[in-house]
Structure 1
Amino acid sequence: MLVDKCLVKSYEPTDDEIKTYDKWIKVDEMARCYILSSMANVLQYEHQSMTTAYDMPESLKEMFGEQNCAAKQTVMKALLTTKMVKGTSVREYVLKIMSLLNELEILSAVIDKESQIKMVLQTLPDSFQQFCLNYNMNKMDLSLTKLLNELQTTESIIKQQAPPAAFMADRPSASTSKPKGDKKKKKKPRKVSGAYDGVDMPKGKYSHCKQPGHYKK
């Protein structure tokens, strides 16, 4: 089917459309520069010929999609198994949780704010039980940063209310043995009957006292 060229009208964009397109070209070029600068040299060489910034993330997903999935599972497992150990700093613990959440966000696994707060509260030790009850009863709505500040304040109060550790001095007990110099030597029992200067004497009656055990002179 032949179409008369006179019937076909060429489309001419308006001035506003031209300005919008030029603005988009500048923004897209800036985005390409940011993405390329964050890549390694080998990846830069492979992606610098791409015309738009949208094509770059799609290409990276094809190259590292499986690795991204494995990394996501590893970080998620670490987040779900992390618990605050009694005696450690609550600040270090919450910062660790925030770091894992940031890694998941980079890996395109975003967790909503309410779930993030629950993950922190449910993994705190029993010393923060009263704080968790107050949070749920008062229906508090805090970000992770504000929650961290509140937990640090609670931690300082808990430390002030804790009883001081008992100081046990090393003292000698009453049952402690005396020095060797005070010990008295035990004497061996001495034979009385039928003995004279360690020599056994014959038994008989003494001529004067008539008692047994003496010999007759």
Structure 2
Amino acid sequence: MLAGMNDVLRLKHEHVENAYEIMDSLQTMFGQQSSQSKHEAIKNAMNARMKKGQSVGAHVLNMINYFIEAETHGATIDDGTQVSMILESLPPTFLQFKSNYVMNKLDYNMTQLLNELQTFEAISIGKVQEGEANVVKEKSSSSKASLKRKNKVKGKGAPKRQKNWNGSNGNKKGDTAKPKGKCFHCGIDGHWKRNCPKYLADLKEKKKAT
């Protein structure tokens, strides 16, 4: 036994009379450290929570490492307790999985639990992505419909051209001029005195007479 120890431990125990006393001395020296390590490993397993953005596979593997470390230092954690501790460490997104496990009284071992959790995670992520795609599609359709309504309202608001008395548009080239009122010379509507044919004819006759 002394031959397998390092130099420091061997020098400390070379005067011990029997193996029992050596084991008792080693337990006194390292037993407290082992107990503390076991306590820390169990505490880590009980307080572990799956982090945001972490995969469930990576989280379960971390939990298994805590269990192995605790058992290495003398703890005994049965399979059912390990599964329960893992389920309690999962976020609310796994509530449906946990409820189904309890209500149907399932009994997974660690490998089955890991596989089922990874399958559930993959399905949940697919549903979330599909829902996000539908939201984007609905927003796009709503934006297009809103743009069409705006264009339609804008088109309806354009002022209409007013038509002249003869039915033609007043701002087109070549349109017939609007009537100018009643002539003060001949009394006929549609022209003024300076354009009156009778007035111009009478004025021409007067010039000839003079």
Cα deviation code 1:126-169 (max 9, x no counterpart): 11111111111221111112211111111111111112367799
Deviation at 1:86, TM superposition (A): 3.0
Alpha-carbon distance in structure 2 between the residues aligned to 1:61 and 1:84: 36
Deviation at 1:72, TM superposition (A): 2.0
Alpha-carbon distance in structure 2 between the residues aligned to 1:44 and 1:153: 54
> 2:39 touches 2:70 (CA, 8 Å); kept in 1?
no
Alpha-carbon distance in structure 2 between the residues aligned to 1:74 and 1:128: 27
Mean CA deviation greater in 102-111 or 82-91? 82-91
Partner of 2:66: 100
Cα deviation code 1:176-203 (max 9, x no counterpart): xxxxxxxxxxxxxxxxxxxxxxxxxxxx
Deviation at 1:40, TM superposition (A): 5.8
For residue 132 of structure 2, the aligned residue among 146, 153, 164 is: 164
Match for 2:73: what amino acid?
L
What CA RMSD, in Å, does the superposition of the two structures yield over aligned residues? 3.4
Deviation at 1:76, TM superposition (A): 2.1
Partner of 1:82: 48
**Number of equivalenced pairs:** 134
Partner of 1:21: none
Identity within the alignment, %:
38
Match for 1:115: what amino acid?
T
Deviation at 1:77, TM superposition (A): 2.0
Q: Which has the larger radius of gyration?
A: 2
Partner of 1:17: none
Alpha-carbon distance in structure 2 between the residues aligned to 1:108 and 1:46: 26
Partner of 2:32: 66
Alpha-carbon distance in structure 2 between the residues aligned to 1:111 and 1:126: 25
Does residue 1:113 correspond to 2:79, yes or no? yes
Q: Which runs of 5+ in 1 are unaligned?
A: 1-31, 170-217
Match for 1:138: what amino acid?
N
> 2:63 touches 2:86 (CA, 8 Å); kept in 1?
yes
Deviation at 1:99, TM superposition (A): 0.3
Cα deviation code 1:86-142 (max 9, x no counterpart): 321101100010000101001101112211111011111111111111111221111
Alpha-carbon distance in structure 1 between the residues aligned to 2:76 and 2:107: 19
What is the TM-score when the length of structure 1 is the normalising length?
A: 0.51
Deviation at 1:73, TM superposition (A): 2.2
Alpha-carbon distance in structure 1 between the residues aligned to 2:113 and 2:31: 34
Deviation at 1:79, TM superposition (A): 1.6
